[in-house]
Each structure stands twice: as C-alpha cells, then as structure tokens.
A and B are shown apart, each in its own frame.
Chain A
Amino acid sequence: MNDLIIISVAAMGGLGLFFAIVLAIASEKLKVKEDPRVLQINEALPGLNCGACGQAGCRDLAEKIAAQGNLDGLSCPPGGAEVIEAIAEILGITAEAGVKKRAVVKCGGTKELAGDRGQYHGIKSCAAEELVGGGHKTCSYGCLGHGDCVKVCPFDAMVMGQNGLPKIDEAKCTACGLCVEACPRQIIELVPCNNRIIVSCNSRDKGVVVRKACKVGCIACNLCVKNAAEGYIIEDNLAKVKYDKGDQAAEPGVAKCSTKCIVKL
C-alpha cells in the first residue's frame, strides 16, 4: 500500500516536474519581444474594436502606433481628443487636437414631405429594399427609413424617428463611421461638430425630378451660391456646404434656400 502511494506521488511529481521544465525552457526559448507601450496604448484605447481607425481592431492600432512612435496618419475617432492625449503621453509627444466630427443625415424627406411611388413588403432592411426595384420612395436618393444605420450603431446614438428619418444624438455619436458604411444610399456623412449648417439632401437628380419627388429636396437653383459664394458649391445638381469655411460663410444661404433644404441643426 505504501509503495503505491510513493509510486503515485513520484509518478505525478515526475510528470509535473517534466512538464514544468519543458514549459520553462520553452518560455525562455520561444520568448516574443513585445513593446510594453503596445499594452499601455491598448489600454488607453476604448477597446470597442469598431474599426473606425481603419485598422483591424484596437490592438492593431496600438501596435501600429507603437511601431511608428508617433500619431501621424493614425487616430481613434470614437476616443476623441482624450484618448489621443493619453496615447501621446505614453509616447512622450504632444498631440495636435483633431477636429471632432459627428454623423449627420443628409435627407429631410419625411413621410409627409417625400412622396412614395409604391409599397415595399419585404425584409426590413434598407440594403435589401435598395436591391429590389430601388425602394418605395419616388426619390431614388432619399432615406428608406428601415434603420440599417440605427442597428449598426454601437453607441445607441441613433434612433429611428416617427417621421421615418433617423435621429442622431450628437452627445453619443463618436463619428466611428459605421452608419456611413451601413447606409446603402450614402446619405450619412461625418461633418465637423462646429459646422451647424448642412444641406439636408442627397439627391443628384435634376431640379424637375426632385420637385416631383420631395418638397425639401435640393433642386440646384443656385440661390445659395449667389448669396453666399464663399460657403457653397454646386456639384452634380446638389448644393454642398464648404465645411472648411465655417458657418459664417454659409449663414446667408440658409434663409435664401428656395426649398428649405439647407438647415441649421
């Protein structure tokens, strides 16, 4: 009986010792050198793995930043200035503040204002509806209202309003850009937070067509450019705000807009 106990203890002890030694040697031989800053930066990042920075995840971004040693061309849109400052501190450099952005929906075509050309009964998804016959709205650029953008938002910053257009909570929006990608009609755009004035239309159709489809569509009448040449530009039958010129340059155009598609948020 005693022998058995001794043998079992010896056998298990031996096995344990053997594996311990093998693992100890392996951990020494197969050691991977890792920049300790990668771990620090990774912790400073939000850890959402949203991919807004263009990397495969927060960890990837941390490795890129650490390898590069500076923040040139790399950023964390959801983290904003705070995170960038924290990383800059880890790297021992000073960060220049980036422009904070948020998503805006460039469509004002609510259920009342924008007409329908048919009914859609199918999968409740904008992407699906866009594929079959181009949607229920007369306007082929307008919001379809199923809320693909709302579903994809990881920050609960979007809700689908009663009027059939998504609403964005600017305080929660981190400009990660997932909704921009989710929208099959490219209606959502990331605009700097300082720019309050936007053209709330996405239609590239000619004025005649737009007028028939929607009461608040941009018909490219050129009034905004005439009244505020600094602030606007017309491209593809659609007025655009020159965001870099700021709200002051765009202000005169808001009141003059013939279809009231230029709005101040």
Chain B
Amino acid sequence: MDLLIIFISAAIVNNFVLIYFLGICPFLGVSNKLEKAFSMGLATTFVMVLAAIVTWLINNYILMPFNLPFLQYVSFIIVIASLVQFVEMFIRKTSPALYRSLGIFLPLITTNCAILGLALLSALREYNFIQSVVFGLAAGLGFTLALCVMAGIREELDLAPVPEHFKGAPITLIIAGLLALAFMGFAGLISG
C-alpha cells in the first residue's frame, strides 16, 4: 500500500515535470515527435532507476555512517555523471542501433535536474531501498507520461491554425502551462 502511494504520488500527483518543474529542458526540447519523446522518456526512466539504486547505497553506506549528509549534492552528481557515462559505453558496445537512436539524449540526461532531484528527494524522505527504487521507476514513468502527452499535443498542433505570433515556442509554453494546471487537478488524490 505504501509503495503504491509512493508510485502514484511520484508518477502523477507530484509529477516531476508538471508539478515539481524538474527536467523542463528535455520536456520542451525533445517533445516534438512522439517516438523521440518516448525513447527519451524510457532512457531517463532507466537512468533514474539505476541512479535511485546507486545513490541509495552511497547515501546509506557511505554518507550516513560517516555523518556526511552535506556531501549529498556533490557525491550524487559524481554518481549520476559516471553512471550515465557507463550506461552510454555499455549501450554503444551492446546495441549500436539503440545508441544511435538515443543519440544526444543520453549525455543530456546527465545534466537533467530531474535525476538529481530524484536522488535528493529520496534521501530527504528517508525512503528504504525498495521504496527508492519504486520512487525512481515512478518518477521516470511520470516523466515519460508528461513527455508523451506533450509530444502528442505538439504533433496535432502542426495542423492547427495557430496565430502567426504564437507559432513555435510561445504556444508550446502555453500548452505546458495548461498541462501543469491540469495535473494540479490530481492534487487531492493523495495527501502528501
């Protein structure tokens, strides 16, 4: 029950992109094609789950025992950067096709604040191991959901009669705002 609440909370109610406004860069940058948005979302989910696991281990076996919580930021950044590097090399070796379709997205994930936010939040809330992993997975899926919804709307937008001055970035930002408002509607679903 506890895990379910964490899952729904992270994926929908407190959606990383639309409620916490984390990872806005890929949200606006990679949401013009549904297919791309989906692969970016999955790549981010993958890295989020891995990051959740590794940062939990580091937080609980290195930082906490030595009373070093103030090093969370620095160490989590190192972890995430190295992790993405490693994943990139691994994918490049094992699946060149996947590597090429992800392209620039993989390195971009390194600097995605949603990942760092995830690691810091799960440390702040003192989740246990399983909870952290579920939290990472849910946050990733929520990110994918937001990206795909946005991409779907933007694909339709190509055919819509948008006023000249709103074409491109302005209409995208307006839609992002409306989407965020819509997600606010989930706020009462779970308290906390």
Note all chain A residues with C-beta closer than 8 A to B96.
Answer: 32
Q: Are A15 and B66 in contact (CB under 8 A)?
A: no
Does B68 reach chain A (CB closer than 8 Å)?
A: yes
Does A234 reach chain B (CB closer than 8 Å)?
A: no
The interface residues of chain B, by DSSP majority, are classed as helix
Note all chain B residues with C-beta closer than 8 A to A26.
Answer: 86, 89-90
Does B159 reach chain A (CB closer than 8 Å)?
A: yes
Contact-residue bracket for chain B: 20 to 34
Q: Are B85 and A15 in contact (CB under 8 A)?
A: no
Q: Are B92 and A19 in contact (CB under 8 A)?
A: no
Min CB distance B101 to A, Å, is 10
B58 contact from A4, A15, A27, A32, Cβ within 8 A: A15
Q: A7-B66, A26-B90 are in contact. List 12 more A-B contacts (CB 8 A).
A: A11-B62, A11-B71, A11-B75, A12-B71, A15-B58, A15-B62, A15-B78, A15-B79, A22-B86, A23-B89, A59-B100, A123-B159
What number of A residues sit within 8 Å (CB to CB) of B? 17
Note all chain B residues with C-beta closer than 8 A to A16.
Answer: 78
Cα A160 to Cα B62 in complex, Å, equals 67
A residues apposed to B, CB below 8 Å = 4, 7-8, 11-12, 15-16, 19, 22-23, 26-27, 30-32, 59, 123
Instruction: Give 8 CB contacts A-B under 8 Å.
Output: A8-B68, A8-B70, A11-B68, A12-B75, A19-B78, A23-B82, A32-B92, A32-B93
Q: Beta-carbon contacts of B50-82 to A below 8 Å, as 1s and 0s? A: 000000001000110011101100110011001
Note all chain B residues with C-beta closer than 8 A to A11.
Answer: 62-63, 66, 68, 71, 75
Query: Which single residue of chain A is at the shortest CB-CB distance from B82?
Result: A19
Query: Which single residue of chain A is at the shortest CB-CB distance from B96?
Result: A32
Note all chain B residues with C-beta closer than 8 A to A123.
Answer: 159
Cα A237 to Cα B159 in complex, Å, equals 37
Q: Are A12 and B74 in contact (CB under 8 A)?
A: yes
Note all chain A residues with C-beta closer than 8 A to B68.
Answer: 4, 7-8, 11
Min CB distance B135 to A, Å, is 22
Min CB distance A125 to B, Å, is 9
Min CB distance A148 to B, Å, is 13
Q: Are B82 and A22 in contact (CB under 8 A)?
A: yes
Note all chain B residues with C-beta closer than 8 A to A15.
Answer: 58, 62, 75, 78-79
Note all chain A residues with C-beta closer than 8 A to B82.
Answer: 19, 22-23
Query: Which single residue of chain A is at the shortest CB-CB distance from B91?
Result: A30
Min CB distance B72 to A, Å, is 11
Note all chain A residues with C-beta closer than 8 A to B79.
Answer: 15, 19
Note all chain A residues with C-beta closer than 8 A to B89.
Answer: 23, 26-27, 30
Cα A32 to Cα B93 in complex, Å, equals 6
Cα A22 to Cα B85 in complex, Å, equals 11
Q: Considering the complex of A and B, which 9 residue pairs feature the smallest CB-CB distances, nearest first? A: A19-B82, A30-B93, A30-B89, A7-B66, A26-B89, A8-B68, A32-B92, A26-B86, A15-B75
Note all chain A residues with C-beta closer than 8 A to B85.
Answer: 23
Note all chain B residues with C-beta closer than 8 A to A7.
Answer: 66, 68
Cα A23 to Cα B79 in complex, Å, equals 11
Q: Are A30 and B78 in contact (CB under 8 A)?
A: no
Q: Are B86 and A23 in contact (CB under 8 A)?
A: yes
Query: Which single residue of chain A is at the shortest CB-CB distance from B74?
Result: A12
Min CB distance A35 to B, Å, is 13
Note all chain A residues with C-beta closer than 8 A to B71.
Answer: 8, 11-12
